[in-house]
Amino acid sequence: MRDRKHLSEDGILVVTRNKTDGKIISGPDLISRGFVYGPDSDGLIDEATRIAAAAIEDLQDESITQWNRLKQALRESIGRYLYAKTKRRPMILPIIMDV
C-alpha cells in the first residue's frame, strides 16, 4: 500500500541500460509515468538522462561494475536533481539489461 501511495503522489521513473562486457551500448533511457506533465517534462527528463549518463561514466572511469553500486549511484544522482527541480521524490527503478 505504501508503494501504491508513493506512485500515486510522485509517479515512477525507470532507468534502463544495456551492456556488453561492462560497456554501455544503448541508453540510459528514462521513462516517466505519472511524474511530470506539460512543457517542462521534456527538458527535465533530458537533463535527468544526462545526469544518469554522467553517473554511469564516473563509475566506469573508476572501474566499478557491481550492479548494486551502479543502481545506488543512479538513484542518488537522479533523485537529487529531480527533488531540486520539482520538490518531489519519484520511485527510481534502475533496470540494467545484459545483451
**Which amino acid appears at position 47 of this protein?**
E
| Alpha carbon distance 96, 99 (integer Å) | 10
Provide the whole-model pTM: 0.80
Task: Return the pLDDT at 19.
Answer: 65
Residue 32: which pLDDT band, with cuts at 50, 70 and 90?
Answer: confident
Task: Return the pLDDT at 63.
Answer: 83
Indicate the class that CATH gives domain 2-94: alpha beta
**Domain extents for the chain?**
2-94
Query: Greater confidence, 9 or 33?
Result: 33
pLDDT average, residue stretch 76-84: 94
Task: Return the pLDDT at 97.
Answer: 76
